[in-house]
Amino acid sequence: MPLDCRSATLQSRHSAGPDFLGFSRFLVRFRAARLGCVLLLRCIALLLTLACASGCKPSVGSSCDAGEARCVDARTELVCQAGHYIQSPCHGPRGCGVTAQGINCDFTGNKTGDACSTDEEGAAICPNKDGMLACHGGQYTLIPCRGTSGCVNGDGRALCDTSIAQQGDVCRDENTKACADDRSQVLICKQHTMQRYYVCRGSNGCTSNAGKLSCDTSLAKEGDACDKKLEGQAFSCTPDASAILVCKGGAFTLDQTCKPGQKCSALDSGTHCAKPGP
């Protein structure tokens, strides 16, 4: 006989009379019916859960484990971020596919602003020699690689030569320094943007050799920024050679005014005021 939860409830509402034995029998049947309904509903819920676990596809917002990813289609992946899936494009020629190592999303064709997982912060690739596409703050960003080596993919990582930059360039690592492309100054990465740090007014300008920057500050103007590490050690001549400046408090300040007939000279032996030679 099929189990009818509704009829059991209705019967309880209309049962009445002094037949206590009949009422007790009814109460037993009523409780059995209610219990059967509860068990049936639980079975249905369990079956739905099992069916979903085996056949339901994950979507944006579904729970996931760190590093987990799935291809939605040939150009899109679901990738885990903080325990939940987000959607990220795979605009490279290989798109999204399954390899022996797992899901592979080719993002070489992605653009600045495309979504990426914050769990993959720093993931990068060289789509060409001129720039590196890197995941930062949940978005892909194109970082210029203006150095002579450009951008090179090697040993499973992207290598970007940022020894040369332009003011306003996007940068990844805070406090990284670079020579301006016109060699006139040193730039520094602040808040992920290359900003002016200090000027290189000397004839050699700013140079980069084997990853080491050199800034010729043999000439400077009062107020020009200088490296605080060189406080009291770095001396410069003013552009008109009338005075000697010293690095103090992160800026060049007046140290000595040359006497009449003397000129400031910056040589390997030091910076000093002297009479010009014949």
Span 43-89, pLDDT tens digits = 555 554 444 444 568 899 999 999 999 999 999 999 999 999 999 99
DSSP character at residue 120: G
Q: What is the tally of helices (H) and strands (E) in the chain? A: 2, 21
pLDDT in tens, 4-27: 443 333 233 343 445 545 545 544
Q: What is the model's pLDDT at position 169?
A: 96
For residue 22, the model assigns a pLDDT of 54
> Distance between CA atoms of 179 and 64, rounded to whole angstroms?
44
- Residue 273 within any structural domain of the chain: yes
Say what the pLDDT of residue 267 is: 84
CA contacts within 13 A on the Cβ side of 75: 6
Evaluate if residue 119 carries a pLDDT over 90. Answer: yes
Q: Which residues contact 92 (CB under 8 A, 6 or more apart)?
A: 105, 106, 107, 108, 109, 110, 127
Whether 229 is covered by a domain: the verdict is yes
How far is the first Cα of the chain from the last one, in angstroms, to the nearest whole number?
A: 124
CATH code: domain of residue 247: 2.30.130.50
pLDDT over 60 (residue 256)? yes
147-193 residue pLDDT tens: 999 999 988 889 999 999 999 999 988 999 999 999 999 999 999 99
pLDDT of residue 39: 52
Lookup: tokens for 9? 């409830």
Q: Is residue 264 part of a domain?
A: yes
User: Comparing C-alpha atoms, which of 96, 94, 136, 139 is closest to residue 114?
Assistant: 139
In a domain, 178, yes or no: no
Let me know if residue 136 belongs to a domain: no
Q: Lowest-pLDDT range, 17-21, 95-99, 126-130, 230-234?
A: 17-21
Which region among 59-63, 240-244, 274-278 has the lowest average model confidence (pLDDT)?
274-278
2 pLDDT above the threshold of 80: no
With respect to residue 261, please indicate whether it lies within any of the assigned structural domains. Answer: yes
Rounded-to-integer distance, Cα 241 and Cα 185, Å: 20
* Alpha helices (H) along the chain: 5-14, 20-55
Is 208 inside any structural domain? no
The residue range of the domain holding 256 is: 217-278
> With 60 as the cut, is the pLDDT of residue 31 above it?
no
User: Which are the contacts of 235, defined by CB distance < 8 A and separation ≥ 6?
Assistant: 244, 245, 246, 247, 255, 266, 270, 271
Total tally of structural domains belonging to the chain: 1
